[in-house]
């Protein structure tokens, strides 16, 4: 019988993964997903779901909500993507990754028969998650959209609540080249009669969401207007939120984007309470304060070392990098050293234009087919006054940054989820 490692390798080889090869693995449309759903017996209908879409902040929002519900004594499934180090990160119950033997069992029992549907990697892993959650009798599962929304495999569910965090330009070749068009794709997860929470939306984007909600008679709530908090102040590496439904609230996630995410999460919790979820105040406090240990979340302004201060973050598009660039500018240091790599389907120039010119750059590439070469990134970076050296892999770039840093420096590693994945994978060895 094949080993776990061989089965995972086979999974990547037989079923194309967007994480590895990009748009060639994307299968738009729900026909295949619905056929697979029927084949597997509609497993998601045996538990409640909450659907989370948007461009940025999906992961932080999903993990924090899962943590809050877990502390509310629910048995909580969590399905997210991509993973950073271990494939099993995608599928969790109460923070614990799916056991290897469960992955093995699913692939041995179903990959050959499912192959008749010619599923994508994401389609197959989505139903692996649904089958596992059903078998383990979760009370509720937080389901993160993979790409877009309207045509995403996860959109076969009928959730208790739909959440859309924000809209930014990402995957434009697949979703559209302007904000309203992308918003229309994301709005596809808003279901008839199902309440929807929108994190950030203004102008035409807001109109897209409002129009979709009107068309399907779905109650819609905009976090920006919910008055769910009065202020947010940096504290102990995270954020102190005041004037919330539970009074003062400390969140351990420290990125600047977390203030927006917190408003989305609190608005969502208020709606979940309205529809019958029993969520005590203390569960909200605990969920915000201990999200990484409760849910296993990594790569969100994650501190790896104090001396020199070393931070990694998975933000990889303009919407995410604008917060990272601001936070880098506000972090005191003698020298700033940035280990940077990107993939080929992002707005590379837009992201690079946001980064500080006074930093030392270590250009590199992640170990995925979509990665731009270090030299390609460096060539584009010079157009924006960003100077540095090139390295063949993330480990070499990070080692060089550490060797050249003094204890008062700041090292930042990012530009791509996969750069962070390579870094954390190396550290886990």
pTM of the model: 0.93
pLDDT number for residue 175: 55
Contact 87, 8 (CB under 8 A): yes
From the list 407, 342, 324, the residue with the least C-alpha distance to 379 is 342
The one-digit pLDDT tens for each residue of the chain (429 residues) are 678 988 888 888 877 654 444 444 455 679 989 999 999 999 999 999 999 999 889 999 999 999 999 999 999 999 999 999 999 999 999 999 999 999 999 999 887 777 678 888 899 999 999 999 999 999 999 999 998 899 999 999 999 999 999 987 554 444 555 888 889 999 999 999 999 999 999 899 999 999 999 999 999 999 999 989 999 999 999 999 999 999 999 999 999 999 999 999 999 999 999 999 999 999 999 999 999 999 999 999 999 999 999 999 999 888 889 999 999 999 999 999 999 999 987 689 999 999 999 999 999 999 988 899 999 999 999 999 999 999 999 999 999 999 999 999 999 999 999 999 999 998 766
**What is the DSSP pairing of strand 309-312 with strand 48-53?**
unpaired
pLDDT number for residue 22: 46
Q: List, by residue range, all CATH 3.90.190.20 domains of the chain.
A: 302-428
292 phi and psi angles, rounded to 5 deg: -70, -40
pLDDT number for residue 1: 66
CB atoms within 10 A of CB 178: 12
Tokens standing for residue 67: 């943590």
Q: What residues contact residue 264 under an 8 Å CB cut-off, 6+ apart?
A: 57, 61, 163, 165, 197, 199, 200, 223
pLDDT number for residue 112: 75
Residue corresponding to tokens 């460096």:
378
pLDDT number for residue 167: 87
Between the two ends of the chain, the Cα-to-Cα distance in Å is: 26
From the list 168, 132, 149, the residue with the least C-alpha distance to 55 is 168
pLDDT number for residue 26: 52
Q: List, by residue range, all CATH 3.40.1190.10 domains of the chain.
A: 4-295
Q: Please state which CATH class domain 302-428 belongs to.
A: alpha beta
pLDDT number for residue 21: 46
**Which CATH fold topology does 4-295 show?**
3.40.1190
């Amino acid at each position: 019988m094949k080993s776990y490692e061989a089965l995972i390798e086979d999974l990547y080889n037989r079923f194309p993964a967007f994480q590895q090869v990009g748009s060639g693995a994307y299968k738009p449309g729900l026909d295949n997903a619905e056929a697979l759903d029927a084949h597997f017996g509609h497993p998601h209908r045996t538990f409640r779901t909450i659907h989370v879409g948007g461009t940025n902040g999906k992961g932080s929002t999903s993990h924090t909500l899962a943590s809050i519900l877990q502390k509310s004594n629910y048995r909580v499934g969590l399905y997210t993507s991509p993973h950073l180090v271990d494939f099993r990160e995608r599928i969790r119950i109460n923070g614990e990754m799916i056991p290897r033997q469960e992955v093995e069992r699913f692939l041995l029992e179903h990959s050959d028969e499912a192959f008749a549907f010619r599923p994508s990697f994401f389609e197959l892993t989505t139903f692996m998650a649904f089958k596992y959650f059903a078998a383990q009798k979760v009370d509720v599962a937080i389901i993160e959209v993979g790409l877009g929304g309207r045509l995403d495999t996860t959109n076969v569910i009928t959730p208790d609540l739909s959440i859309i965090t924000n809209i930014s330009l990402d995957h434009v070749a697949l979703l559209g080249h302007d904000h309203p068009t992308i918003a229309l794709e994301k709005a596809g997860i808003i279901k008839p009669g199902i309440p929807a929470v929108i994190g950030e939306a203004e102008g035409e984007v807001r109109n897209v969401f409002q129009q979709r909600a009107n068309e399907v008679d779905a109650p819609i709530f905009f976090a920006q207007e919910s008055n769910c908090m009065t202020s947010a102040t940096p504290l102990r590496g995270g954020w102190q939120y005041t004037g919330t439904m539970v009074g003062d609230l400390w969140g351990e996630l420290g990125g600047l984007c977390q203030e927006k995410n917190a408003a989305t999460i609190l608005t969502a919790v208020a709606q979940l309470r309205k529809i019958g979820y029993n969520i005590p105040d203390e569960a909200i406090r605990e969920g915000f304060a201990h999200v990484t240990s409760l849910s296993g979340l990594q790569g969100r302004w994650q501190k790896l070392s104090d001396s020199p201060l070393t931070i990694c973050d998975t933000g990889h598009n303009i919407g995410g990098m604008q917060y990272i660039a601001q936070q880098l500018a506000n972090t005191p240091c003698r020298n700033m050293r940035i280990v940077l790599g990107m993939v080929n389907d992002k707005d590379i120039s837009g992201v690079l234009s946001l980064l500080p010119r006074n930093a030392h750059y270590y250009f590199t590439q992640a170990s995925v087919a979509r990665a731009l070469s270090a030299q390609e990134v460096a060539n584009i970076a010079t157009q924006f006054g960003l100077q540095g050296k090139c390295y063949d892999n993330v480990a070499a770039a990070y080692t060089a940054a550490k060797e050249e840093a003094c204890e008062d420096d700041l090292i930042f590693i990012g530009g791509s989820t996969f750069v962070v994945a390579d870094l954390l994978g190396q550290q886990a060895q």
